[in-house]
């Protein structure tokens, strides 16, 4: 068993068990946060689709292992279970009895069809928290539709805000809706758990990628809904209203300069040798600089082009002006906190360490599980099944035929 158990009871969620019917990105990202905090996350993988599709995402995919899958599934366990098999329901409910959370990221209509909601499971475990993360939620006209990050960035207006003014609608370089949906679902799970332990009653958590993306319009959404104001796209990734707060080209690259307080504007003018700029009426306040950004930005660009990025960062840092390099990914990763482990197929795997740092215990770092690796362990140790009972279920096909792949079943209709 390559995925050992190193959970410390000092980890905040060491007494939480999660059954996760999940795949790809958003759902596994959400439960990864729980696993990194010590929860025992057991993936229920559909044998008819050869488990989580993330196992096969290139590049760096070998057989049923990939660096993509490792990224989202470290510190988890895997049980192979065909939830549509007539003999699987009893097995699943036995796992629910000894768990705290049932988490899924299927299409919005699937939790009801697969009987994964609180109403379906409250007689089995009245404290169970059932969380669904889907594209469009469990109710409404689009519940039956799949939804993916790129779609949501388009639907929620993100792409219309991103990129240079003359460029096409542009997505973020990262799957931020998936990641945000994962985080939001984790908050919902923790809130549901807190109430369940206080009141003895579980609940449903209905989280959608679409609503998450809309909510993250933040003040841009408030401006649009309250005043009909639509933020224009700005050159060089500039802030919609605060100037300067953007990228500037230097002699050899780019730097980010941020002046979200008036004092930083004064410090910037001194640092770049142009103190007279902060005394000009047209640049005196946030509103003035926003109104006259077309006059101010060319002046600043001309100044920043005169030195290298390193030179400017030294000058601005010494002056107390918020600024940073615009790194490539390799440069960014080189300076990051990493975790490292050996994988039997992929060799050395290095991942970015969790930012969830609570004093008292270090989060575990264990490789992602092989498909179905913990099936026998879970049924024997958690549910008390005998070897004979497990063999009967295996022969009946409840765990699927691990040697065969199949057409993707509806359980693969993830967000």
Distance between start and end Cα atoms, the chain: 30
- State the virtual CA torsion across 264, 266, 272, 278 in degrees, nearest 10: 140
Find the angle CA(306)-CA(310)-CA(311) to the nearest 5 degrees: 50
Beta pairing, strands 254-258 & 323-325:
antiparallel
Helix, strand, coil percentages (3-state) for the chain, rounded to 5, are 40, 15, 45
- Per the structure block, which two tokens stand in for 286? 């946030």
Distance CA 340, CA 353 (A): 9
Q: Scanning the structure block, which residue is given the tokens 């905040």?
A: 12
Q: Are 319 and 311 in contact (CB under 8 A)?
A: no
Strand (E) positions, 231-379?
A: 245-249, 254-258, 323-325, 338-343, 347-352
Burial of 166 (0-12, 13-18, 19+ CB in 10 A): exposed
Is 239 tagged catalytic?
yes
Distance CA 226, CA 222 (A): 6
> Which strands, in side-by-side order, build the sheet including 245-249?
245-249, 254-258, 323-325
Question: Is 77 strand, coil or helix?
Answer: strand
Question: Beta partners for 103?
Answer: 20, 131
Q: For residue 408, what is the DSSP state?
A: P
Helices (H) and strands (E) in the chain, counts: 17, 13
Which of these is catalytic: 215, 239, 343, 374?
239
Phi/psi of residue 49, nearest 5 degrees:
-115, 20
Distance CA 64, CA 403 (A): 12
Tell me the catalytic residues: 239
């Amino acid at each position: 068993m390559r995925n050992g158990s190193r959970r410390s009871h000092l980890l905040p969620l060491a007494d939480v068990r999660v059954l996760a019917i999940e795949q790809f990105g958003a759902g596994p990202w959400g439960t990864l946060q729980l696993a990194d905090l010590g929860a025992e996350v057991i993936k229920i993988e559909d044998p008819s689709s050869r488990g989580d599709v993330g196992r096969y995402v290139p590049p760096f995919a070998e057989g049923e292992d990939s660096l993509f899958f490792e990224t989202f599934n470290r510190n988890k366990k895997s049980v192979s279970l065909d939830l549509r098999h007539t003999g699987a329901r009893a097995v699943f409910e036995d796992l629910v009895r000894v768990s705290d959370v049932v988490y899924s990221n299927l299409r919005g209509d699937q939790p009801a069809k697969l009987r994964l909601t609180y109403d379906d499971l409250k007689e089995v475990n009245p404290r169970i928290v059932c969380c669904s993360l889907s594209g469009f939620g469990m109710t409404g006209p689009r519940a039956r539709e799949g939804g993916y990050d790129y779609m949501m960035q388009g639907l929620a207006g993100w792409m219309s805000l991103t990129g240079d003014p003359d460029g096409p609608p542009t997505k973020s370089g990262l799957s931020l809706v998936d990641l945000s949906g994962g985080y939001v679902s984790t908050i919902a799970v923790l809130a549901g758990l807190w109430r369940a332990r206080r009141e003895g009653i579980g609940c449903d958590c209905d989280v959608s990628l679409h609503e998450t993306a809309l909510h993250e319009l933040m003040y841009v959404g408030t401006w649009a809904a309250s005043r009909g104001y639509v933020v224009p796209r700005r050159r060089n990734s500039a802030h919609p209203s605060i100037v300067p707060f953007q990228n500037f080209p230097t002699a050899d690259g780019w730097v980010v300069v941020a002046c979200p307080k008036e004092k930083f504007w004064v410090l910037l003018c001194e640092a770049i040798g142009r103190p007279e700029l902060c005394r000009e009426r047209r640049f005196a306040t946030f509103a003035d600089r926003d109104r006259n950004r077309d006059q101010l930005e060319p002046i600043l660009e001309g100044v920043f082009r005169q030195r290298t990025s390193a030179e400017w960062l030294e000058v601005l840092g010494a002056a107390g002006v918020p600024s940073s390099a615009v790194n490539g990914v390799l440069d960014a990763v080189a300076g990051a906190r990493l975790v490292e482990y050996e994988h039997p197929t992929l060799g050395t795997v290095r991942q970015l360490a969790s930012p969830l740092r609570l004093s008292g215990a270090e989060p575990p770092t264990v490789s992602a599980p092989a498909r179905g690796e913990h099936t026998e362990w879970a049924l024997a140790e958690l549910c008390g099944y005998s070897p004979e009972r497990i063999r009967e279920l295996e022969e009946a096909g409840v765990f699927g035929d691990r040697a065969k792949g199949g057409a993707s079943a509806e359980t693969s209709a993830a967000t």
